[in-house]
Structure 1
Amino acid sequence: MSLKSIGAKIFARYIRKKIDAWASKPEATQQKVFKELIDQAKDTKFGKDHDFGKIKTYRDFAEKIPVRDYEELKPWVDKMVAGEADVLWPGKPLYYAKTSGTTSGAKYIPLTKESMPTHINAARNAILCYIAETGNASFVDGKMIFLQGSPELDEKNGVKLGRLSGIVAHYVPSYLQKNRMPSWETNCIEDWETKVDAIVEETRNEDMTVISGIPSWVQMYFERLHQKTGQKVGDLFKNFELFIYGGVNYEPYRAKFENLIGRKVDSIELYPASEGFFAFQDKQNEKGMLLQLDSGMFYEFIKADEFFDENPKRLTIGEVETGVNYVMLISSNAGLWAYNLGDTVQFTSTKPYRVMVSGRIKHFISAFGEHVIAKEVEEAMQLATAQTKARISEFTVAPQITPENDELPYHEWFIEFEKEPEDLEAFRKILDKSLQEQNSYYFDLIEGKILQPLKIARVPSNGFQKYMKSIGKLGGQNKLPRLANDRKIAAVLEEIIEA
């Protein structure tokens, strides 16, 4: 055992104890964070606009600060981007994480000297918790790859900006620099397909032990490795032990990954975003990810089915329940206040608080009042692939509201199979039955002959990659929406199917 792996085990036990300390007193931890945030920001423009000096309790805060998404917070962000200081948080940000917006074009999410370490420490602590639990630290001696955006940064009025993953690349600890891959030059390649090919050439003969990234893009890397070498990833990288992922649910991809790798490897799920690093999987056999209550973020939650009401009730950590779909709000030491991320989460545990991402508040199908969410379609897909031994590359679901020939409307599942089920009809029935069992509204619509059971449209090999490329979002942190209330994605996929 190397000195590095011995040191990692000692440090892992220390960090695990610190995490257990704050996780065991969640409400007190969040109250401490809340007071620190209000005190630090009371003299900012936003703090003065909202009477932070008079906020003594959470209820004061909820009365003075309305829930806002990026578009509603944009007037303050615009002042920061224009060069003003002390707007949402004291001073100027260290960086802006630039992401694609919806109605407002590019989004500039501030990262401050106080918030930046929380991104780095959470990613580190996820690995340390794994080491503390399993006792396995041998992988620290091998090569590690983090599939991410370009670390080359632009500048706007004295503040650097770029993709979050590219910004984080500047903070790789010195003790990992020799282990990290790909090279800086390869990481700077903008075209994703060219970049993946370059990564394959750099890594194919290395001792890769840890691989990290969004599953759909890691899958592309694994496929290119197999094409180049003819070997399973697990045979090529004999010491590959740990897959770290975030951004999307891994379960629909698991069967295909295990086929590409040729064996099972341990995995760690992360919940990072430009706005903060919210949670990570701290136990291999526990469902959900540990919510980061001590990382400069104060959390609020609104029940998803009440979110669009006129005055929905805002809840703090001590008021949530397991199994309920919540919209998650954050106030942070990056200067975001009662900020609606757009994500929905469910708590899998309250001792300690663990969450799973259930979808997006804007990404659901409710064309007929069914309100189907991502978690439900992903669980249905997981069940169908497990029972039929099928493997999928990617999928998305859209409503078909006006089918031809006087048919009843239905949900259309666009699926790219890596291995088709022997009986596609049986596969389809498992999907539909699972969805009915999970969602009573969908069940009622099927029973009441308002909807007919779902239909499957087969997408050809690499069809989803062609779609993402067609909209300029191939690779990086870009993710395919699981669900839509319209047929914008479906229309492009139909053209790919017919081509």
Structure 2
Amino acid sequence: MGVKALLSKPLAAYVHKKHQRWVENPVAAQQAVFKNLVQKAQATKFGRDHSFASIKSHADFVKAVPVRDYEALSAYFNLVKQGENDVLWPGKPLYLAKTSGTTSGTKYIPITRDSIPNHINGAKDALLAYVHETGKSAFLDGKMIFLSGSPELEQVSGINTGRLSGIANHHVPGYLRTNQLPSYKTNCIDDWETKLDQIVEETIDRDMTLISGIPPWVQMYFDKLIRQTGKPIKDIFPNFQLFVYGGVNFEPYRKKLFESIGQQVDSIELFPASEGFFAFQNKQNDPGLLLLLDAGIFYEFIPTEEYFNENPTRLTIGEVEPGVNYALVVSSNAGLWSYSIGDTVKFTSVKPYKLIVSGRIKHFISAFGEHVIGEEVEKAMKLTMAKFPEVELIEFTVAPFVSQNEGASCHEWLVEFAIKPANEAAFAAELDKQLRQLNSYYDDLIAGNILQKLKLTALPRGAFQSYMKSQGKLGGQNKVPRLSNDRKLAGGLLAVTSS
């Protein structure tokens, strides 16, 4: 066992003990974070505009600070981007994290001197939690790859600006940097396919022990390795031990990914975003992610059915219940205040507080009043695939198909299979049955002949990659929306496959 693997075990035990203090006192931990945030930001422009000096409780905060998204806070973000001091948080941010917005174009999320440890320690502590639970640490002595965006940063009003994954790349601990692949030069390549070819060349004969990235892009990496060698990943990297991922639900990709590997390996799910590192999986046999309650982020939770109300209920950590879908709202030492990040979560446990990411608050289908959400379509697909074990899935998305003829409208599932079902009609019927069981509104619409049963459209291989490439979103941290309430994505997919 190498020095890094050996020393990680006492460090993992220390970090675990440190975490237990807030795990066992979650409400007090969040209250302390809340008080600290409000106090530190009193003299900022935002703090003055929202009377932070008079805020003594969460109830006061709710009255003073409405829930807003990036567009609603853009006046403040623009001042930060212009280089003004003391706008949302004291001083200027260390970085601006660029991320794609749905209606605002590119978003610039501040990362401050106070908030950067949250991003760095979150990922580090996830690995140490794995070491503490399993006792496995040999992966720390091998090579690790983080499939990410370019670490090259630009200057915006004197502030270093780039993708979050690129910013994080500059903060990889020194003791791990010698283990890290690909090279800095390769990581800076913008074109994803060119970059991936070079990553394959740099890693194909190395002792890869940890591989991290968003599942569909990791699958592309594995596919290229397998085509080049004719071997499964386990034979290319015999010491590959740990797969780390985040950003999307892993379930639709799990079967094909592990078949590419050729065996099961341990995995850790993370919940990172430009707005903060929120949670990580700390138990191999528990899919719930431990919510980080002592990391400079104060959380509020809005029941999803109230999200679009004028004055929705805003719950704190001690008020949430398991099994309920909540929109996640954060205030943080990055200068975000009651900021809706767009994700929905569902708690799987409250002792300790663990959750899963259940979808996106604006990613739903309700063209006919059914309000189908991402969690439901992903679960319907998972349950259906369990009944058709021969099927291998690459990617899918769901969109409404609105017909002018009464009773002819439906949901269209655009699916790219690695291995198609032998009976596509039976597969579609089962998929529809599962969704009807998961969503009573959808079931009522089918039963009332307002909607037809779903339409399954099998796309040719490479369809989603071609579409993402056409949008300039191939690779990196980009994700395919699981469902949408219009035909924009569906139309784009069908256009690239017919051209």
Q: TM-score, normalised by structure 2?
A: 0.98
- Once the two structures are TM-superposed, the CA of residue 177 in structure 1 deviates from its matched residue by 1.0
| CA offset digits 1:18-70 (Å, max 9, x no partner) | 11221111100000000000111001111011110001111011100011100
1:138 aligns with 2:138: yes
One-letter amino acid of the structure 2 residue matched with residue 481 of structure 1: P
1:393 aligns with 2:419: no
1:426-441 map, 5 Å = 426-441=426-441
Looking at structure 1, the residues matched to 241 and 430 of structure 2 have their Cα atoms a distance apart, in angstroms, of: 33
One-letter amino acid of the structure 1 residue matched with residue 244 of structure 2: I
- Once the two structures are TM-superposed, the CA of residue 430 in structure 1 deviates from its matched residue by 2.1
Show the counterpart of 2:53. 53
| CA offset digits 1:427-460 (Å, max 9, x no partner) | 2122111111111111111111111111110111
Show the counterpart of 2:277. 277
Show the counterpart of 2:117. 117
1:473-484 map, 5 Å = 473-484=473-484
One-letter amino acid of the structure 2 residue matched with residue 392 of structure 1: L
- Percent sequence identity over aligned pairs: 59
1:239 aligns with 2:227: no
1:315 aligns with 2:315: yes
Comparing 94-103 with 297-306, which one deviates more in the overlay?
94-103
Looking at structure 2, the residues matched to 104 and 382 of structure 1 have their Cα atoms a distance apart, in angstroms, of: 33
| CA offset digits 1:327-350 (Å, max 9, x no partner) | 110000000000011111111111
Show the counterpart of 1:226. 226
RMSD: 1.1
1:183-194 map, 5 Å = 183-194=183-194
Comparing 15-24 with 105-114, which one deviates more in the overlay?
15-24
| CA offset digits 1:177-201 (Å, max 9, x no partner) | 1110000000000000000000000
Show the counterpart of 1:7. 7
Looking at structure 1, the residues matched to 400 and 236 of structure 2 have their Cα atoms a distance apart, in angstroms, of: 42
CA contact (8 A) 1:458 1:497 kept: no
- Once the two structures are TM-superposed, the CA of residue 268 in structure 1 deviates from its matched residue by 0.4
CA contact (8 A) 2:407 2:451 kept: no
Show the counterpart of 2:128. 128
> What is the DSSP-based 3-state SS (H/G/I as helix, E as strand, rest coil) of the residue aligned with 1:171?
coil
1:267 aligns with 2:272: no
One-letter amino acid of the structure 2 residue matched with residue 90 of structure 1: P
Looking at structure 1, the residues matched to 479 and 471 of structure 2 have their Cα atoms a distance apart, in angstroms, of: 12
Show the counterpart of 1:170. 170
- Once the two structures are TM-superposed, the CA of residue 407 in structure 1 deviates from its matched residue by 5.3
**Structure 2: 5+ residue stretches without partners:** none
> What is the DSSP-based 3-state SS (H/G/I as helix, E as strand, rest coil) of the residue aligned with 1:70?
coil
Looking at structure 1, the residues matched to 488 and 102 of structure 2 have their Cα atoms a distance apart, in angstroms, of: 14
One-letter amino acid of the structure 2 residue matched with residue 54 of structure 1: S
Show the counterpart of 2:445. 445
1:148 aligns with 2:119: no
1:24 aligns with 2:11: no
| CA offset digits 1:358-399 (Å, max 9, x no partner) | 111110001111111111111111122222121111000001
1:338 aligns with 2:338: yes
One-letter amino acid of the structure 2 residue matched with residue 490 of structure 1: A
Looking at structure 2, the residues matched to 24 and 431 of structure 1 have their Cα atoms a distance apart, in angstroms, of: 42
Looking at structure 2, the residues matched to 456 and 104 of structure 1 have their Cα atoms a distance apart, in angstroms, of: 32
- Once the two structures are TM-superposed, the CA of residue 498 in structure 1 deviates from its matched residue by 2.9
CA contact (8 A) 1:415 1:457 kept: yes
One-letter amino acid of the structure 2 residue matched with residue 193 of structure 1: E
One-letter amino acid of the structure 2 residue matched with residue 278 of structure 1: F
Comparing 343-352 with 1-10, which one deviates more in the overlay?
1-10
CA contact (8 A) 2:251 2:382 kept: yes
One-letter amino acid of the structure 2 residue matched with residue 374 of structure 1: G
Show the counterpart of 1:402. 403
Looking at structure 2, the residues matched to 346 and 134 of structure 1 have their Cα atoms a distance apart, in angstroms, of: 26
Distance 1:370 1:406, change over 3 A: closer
> What is the DSSP-based 3-state SS (H/G/I as helix, E as strand, rest coil) of the residue aligned with 2:398?
strand
Show the counterpart of 2:199. 199
Looking at structure 2, the residues matched to 497 and 72 of structure 1 have their Cα atoms a distance apart, in angstroms, of: 37
Show the counterpart of 2:35. 35
Looking at structure 2, the residues matched to 118 and 137 of structure 1 have their Cα atoms a distance apart, in angstroms, of: 23
| CA offset digits 1:143-182 (Å, max 9, x no partner) | 0000000000000111110000000000011111111000
Show the counterpart of 1:362. 362
CA contact (8 A) 1:247 1:479 kept: yes
Looking at structure 1, the residues matched to 310 and 75 of structure 2 have their Cα atoms a distance apart, in angstroms, of: 23
- Once the two structures are TM-superposed, the CA of residue 305 in structure 1 deviates from its matched residue by 0.7
Looking at structure 2, the residues matched to 486 and 331 of structure 1 have their Cα atoms a distance apart, in angstroms, of: 31
1:42-121 map, 5 Å = 42-121=42-121
> What is the DSSP-based 3-state SS (H/G/I as helix, E as strand, rest coil) of the residue aligned with 2:284?
coil
Looking at structure 2, the residues matched to 2 and 202 of structure 1 have their Cα atoms a distance apart, in angstroms, of: 23
> What is the DSSP-based 3-state SS (H/G/I as helix, E as strand, rest coil) of the residue aligned with 2:72?
helix
CA contact (8 A) 1:459 1:496 kept: no
CA contact (8 A) 1:98 1:109 kept: yes
CA contact (8 A) 1:42 1:48 kept: yes
> What is the DSSP-based 3-state SS (H/G/I as helix, E as strand, rest coil) of the residue aligned with 1:380?
helix
Looking at structure 2, the residues matched to 381 and 217 of structure 1 have their Cα atoms a distance apart, in angstroms, of: 20
**Structure 1: 5+ residue stretches without partners:** none
CA contact (8 A) 2:374 2:482 kept: yes
> What is the DSSP-based 3-state SS (H/G/I as helix, E as strand, rest coil) of the residue aligned with 1:110?
strand
One-letter amino acid of the structure 1 residue matched with residue 14 of structure 2: Y
One-letter amino acid of the structure 1 residue matched with residue 80 of structure 2: M
Show the counterpart of 1:161. 161
> What is the DSSP-based 3-state SS (H/G/I as helix, E as strand, rest coil) of the residue aligned with 1:279?
strand
CA contact (8 A) 2:214 2:246 kept: yes
| CA offset digits 1:242-274 (Å, max 9, x no partner) | 100000000100010011111111110000000
Looking at structure 2, the residues matched to 407 and 465 of structure 1 have their Cα atoms a distance apart, in angstroms, of: 33
Show the counterpart of 1:486. 486
CA contact (8 A) 2:79 2:87 kept: yes
Looking at structure 1, the residues matched to 73 and 4 of structure 2 have their Cα atoms a distance apart, in angstroms, of: 45
CA contact (8 A) 1:384 1:427 kept: yes
CA contact (8 A) 1:331 1:338 kept: yes
Show the counterpart of 1:378. 378
Looking at structure 1, the residues matched to 277 and 89 of structure 2 have their Cα atoms a distance apart, in angstroms, of: 18
- Once the two structures are TM-superposed, the CA of residue 102 in structure 1 deviates from its matched residue by 2.6
- Once the two structures are TM-superposed, the CA of residue 406 in structure 1 deviates from its matched residue by 5.7
CA contact (8 A) 1:96 1:109 kept: yes
Q: How many residue pairs get matched?
A: 498
CA contact (8 A) 2:407 2:450 kept: no
> What is the DSSP-based 3-state SS (H/G/I as helix, E as strand, rest coil) of the residue aligned with 1:119?
helix
Looking at structure 2, the residues matched to 285 and 21 of structure 1 have their Cα atoms a distance apart, in angstroms, of: 23
> What is the DSSP-based 3-state SS (H/G/I as helix, E as strand, rest coil) of the residue aligned with 2:337?
coil
One-letter amino acid of the structure 1 residue matched with residue 147 of structure 2: L
Looking at structure 1, the residues matched to 265 and 328 of structure 2 have their Cα atoms a distance apart, in angstroms, of: 31
> What is the DSSP-based 3-state SS (H/G/I as helix, E as strand, rest coil) of the residue aligned with 2:365?
coil
